[in-house]
Amino acid sequence: MSEQLLGARAICESLLREGVDTIFGIPGGAILPFYDALWHYPQLRHVLMRHEQAASHAAAAYARTTGRVGVCVSTSGPGATNLLTGLADAKMDSTPIVAITGQVARPFLGTEAFQECDTTGMAGPLLKKVYLVMDPKDIGSIIHEAFQVASEGRPGPVLIDVPKDVQAELADFSYSTASASGPKPPDNPSATAIAKAAQLLNEAERPLILAGNGVHLSRASADLQALAETANIPVINTLHGTGSFPRHHPLAMGMLGMHGMYANNIATCECDVIFAVGMRFDDRVIGRPGSFAPQAKVIHLEIEPAQVDKNVNADVPIIGDAKLVLSALLPSIFHNPRKAWFARLESLREEHPSLEIPAGGVLTPQFILSKLNAQLQRLADPVVVTGVGQHQMWAAQFITLNKAQSFVTSGGLGTMGFEVPAAIGAQVGRPNATVWSVAGDGGFQMTLQELATIVQEHLPIKFLLMNNGYHGMVRQWQELFYEHHYKATAVSGPDFVKLAAAYGISGARLDNQAHVETALAAAAAHDGPYLLDCHIAPEENVYPMVPPGASLAETVEDPRIVHTHQPLKAGPEGKVSYP
């Protein structure tokens, strides 16, 4: 039996039925009926952000650290357009979000009314799906479908645009639990594909597993570990695959790609089978198109068919959920010692110590992060959030987390400013976790207004601010590829410790290696948010690095690190010879 509810209250009731307990947002005119209804629902926690983009980033980090759908809300016009950057970021990174935006009343649609814009028209190409609610009786079914679409298959953001008068109109409310229509991954993976994959893995002499974000999304970390151990295959992770396989495991090798470990990049050039699990083979992973893994047969396990054969041709494509497929594959896998392959990998790591910290008394991010990593190992539930740039790559290299869903960063869209609001979403989603936000001084200044949100919500987030006075990654490219033509990359900033104090946040400045461990301990012990302003070497570069347009075989190491490696030589048809 249905009951009559205002559209705004129907939204609240629908959110409760989806298990929502937290909303990130900012009120405004066109969404006010919803906020009035929200007053009657104290069980729906509302986190008041200071900018709508920050609301969508916070919802994304909440989703990625909890495994639930994140929810954000904004008003129409500029509120909705501000929200879109974070939603586009979520689409690239396969993050489930339901965004609810207010819209002008139905009679004013298309009239260029105050704060009107075509929200669904703009959002449609960027998101997984969009809805414009024109009848309040449809609210229940639309919200249920939106949550289903956001979380099923390859997850992603969904937007629901609700005109103001729809929110204020009385209508029959019923909550449909019918399944949304649309393509879904198969429940049972192809038996033929499983058999082919098992044969390739069992017979491989030099195999690698590449673990991506899909391992997190399908909660398949334990299944991946079981398969890797059974088959005795080394595991390399993508940026978003960080933490999907325990970093301290003997088979773990760390990250590959543009700033991945040298040994890992070279290993992909020498391997004979690659098992890619839940990854898209994006350009930062594969390097120059057509050059990736020239000697390898590729098994590509992916939930979204459109990603298969898009950037790297798959010899054995497997469409399905990573957890289901790994479970189905495991019984057909047997152990293989592969002593020669492991000896080769070990020699690569010894000759090319990508995590060696350059000597000298200058304060470097590598040194700081190595000390932070040591501290994190003693914690029960650490979470690390980063922005985008040099600090992001250093963090991915030096932070070795063993728990899934504990490393949160902006990958596909590469959104600067992600580090502050995403830390909010992570801390709200995992209130008992110790959340560290590793930030750059450039990106930090894009969303630092959210420090007010952190204080208002009493969130004990710790900030490790890598302050080099530059947009560091852009400066690095200008140095290496544009003849040191530094233009618009030097970034001035405030005294960040004083700025934090103005918001009511404690902090300290760090500019000496001798004080790093003491400073990190003080930050960790502080009961509340804390900002550590680290004045690092201004022109420190991230290595290893694959130059733009180069292959992984052309990975460049830190020139300060001496090694004995003999360069790989390309043979006929571009194949790289295996030593």
Residue ranges in 399-547 assigned as alpha helix (H): 419-429, 441-447, 451-456, 472-481, 496-503, 516-525
Known catalytic membership, residue 115: yes
Rounded to the nearest 5°, which phi and psi values hold at 185?
A: -65, 150
Q: CA–CA separation, 132 vs 135, rounded Å?
A: 9
Known catalytic membership, residue 52: yes
Known catalytic membership, residue 114: yes
Amino acid found at 62: Y
Here the tokens at position 568 are 């790989």
Q: Which residue in the list 473, 496, 540, 545 is annotated as catalytic?
A: 473
Q: CA–CA separation, 40 vs 26, rounded Å?
A: 17
Q: Which residue in the list 114, 199, 350, 481 is annotated as catalytic?
A: 114
End-to-end CA gap in the chain: 73
Distances (CA, A) of 315 to 273, 377, 568: 10, 39, 25
- Nearest Cα residue to 467 out of 390, 526, 376, 400: 390
Distances (CA, A) of 473 to 208, 392, 531, 542: 29, 10, 22, 8
Q: Which residue in the list 108, 115, 122, 229 is annotated as catalytic?
A: 115
Q: Which residue in the list 164, 297, 323, 462 is annotated as catalytic?
A: 164
Write out the DSSP string of 130-143. EEE--SGGGHHHHH
Alpha-carbon torsion (456, 461, 466, 472), positive or negative: negative
Q: CA–CA separation, 554 vs 571, rounded Å?
A: 15
Q: How far is CA 159 from the centre of its chain?
A: 20
Write out the DSSP string of 251-285. TEEEE-STTS-HHHHHHHHH-SEEEEES----HHH
User: What is the three-class DSSP state of 235?
Assistant: strand
Q: CA–CA separation, 260 vs 236, rounded Å?
A: 10
Q: Which residue in the list 13, 18, 52, 145 is annotated as catalytic?
A: 52
User: What is the three-class DSSP state of 112?
Assistant: coil
- Residues catalogued as catalytic: 52, 114-115, 164, 473
